[in-house]
């Protein structure tokens, strides 16, 4: 079912990037507003595939208005990653293909490509492949990209770019990420 205003809408391409905390959180906040207006939302995660976190349960409670798909195999080359690079590249390529199918489906009003920028920054996906994907966005669809290190080509194609800047972080005081607040 279409949201009532789809034919009048100018869907935006938005990017949340930078070294500060809150990129995915900002994108996920848009879900609450979208669902409030009866929109269908799809979240596709490119990197955070192996961790368990509160958003997953939250999205589950918003079904059927929100679909959530983990396509990454976990954080690449950091934390506890022991997987071969080829496995990560294959998962990233599948995530691009899957994203293209969701974008073309016409089922969604908002799609979030969470940590796409990190996949670009680490070379798991080429900028050209990402640009090809983003250019397929229908006019009504709002699309949000998150992740550190957005390449200039992504910044240029986007309608809205916000850079999160870290000013202070609790980790500097030895306070680790906390369940329910940070993840």
Which has the higher per-residue pLDDT, 84 or 81? 84
CATH topology of domain 6-165: Rossmann fold (3.40.50)
**What is the per-residue pLDDT for 50?**
60
Answer yes or no: are the C-beta atoms of 103 and 143 closer than 8 Å. yes
**What is the per-residue pLDDT for 3?**
61
The rounded distance, in Å, linking the Cα atoms of 183 and 178 is 7
The rounded distance, in Å, linking the Cα atoms of 183 and 119 is 20
| Helix, coil or strand: residue 142 | strand
pLDDT tens digits along 35-56:
999 999 999 999 875 667 777 7
Q: Which residues of 96-112 are buried (b: 16+ CB within 10 A; e: fewer)?
A: beebeebbeeeebbbbb
Name the pLDDT band for 4 (thresholds 50, 70, 90).
low
Percent of residues in the chain assigned helix, strand, coil, to nearest 5:
40, 15, 45
What pTM did the predictor assign? 0.90
pLDDT tens digits along 121-156:
999 999 999 999 999 999 999 999 999 999 999 999
Mutual angle of helices 85-105 and 127-134, in 10-degree steps? 10
The rounded distance, in Å, linking the Cα atoms of 68 and 35 is 14
- Predicted confidence (pLDDT) at residue 81 exceeds the cutoff of 70: no
Answer yes or no: are the C-beta atoms of 44 and 112 closer than 8 Å. yes
Which of 96-100, 103-107, 160-164, 169-173 is predicted least confidently?
A: 169-173
């Amino acid at each position: 079912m279409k949201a009532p205003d789809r034919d009048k809408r100018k869907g935006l391409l938005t990017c949340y990037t930078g070294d500060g905390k809150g990129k995915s959180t900002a994108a996920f906040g848009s879900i609450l507003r979208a669902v409030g207006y009866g929109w269908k939302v799809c979240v596709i995660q490119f990197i955070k595939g192996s961790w368990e976190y509160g958003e997953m349960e939250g999205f589950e409670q918003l079904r059927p208005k929100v679909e959530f798909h983990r396509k990454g195999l976990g954080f690449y080359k950091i934390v506890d990653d022991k997987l071969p690079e080829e496995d990560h590249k294959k998962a990233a390529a599948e995530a691009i293909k899957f994203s293209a199918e969701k974008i073309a489906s016409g089922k969604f009003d908002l799609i979030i490509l969470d940590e796409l920028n990190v996949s670009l920054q680490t070379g798991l996906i080429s900028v050209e492949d990402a640009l090809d994907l983003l250019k397929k966005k229908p006019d009504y669809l709002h699309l949000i990209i998150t992740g550190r290190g957005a390449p200039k080509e992504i910044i240029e194609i986007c309608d809205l770019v916000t850079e999160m800047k870290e000013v202070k972080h609790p980790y500097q005081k030895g306070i680790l990420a906390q369940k329910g607040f940070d993840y």
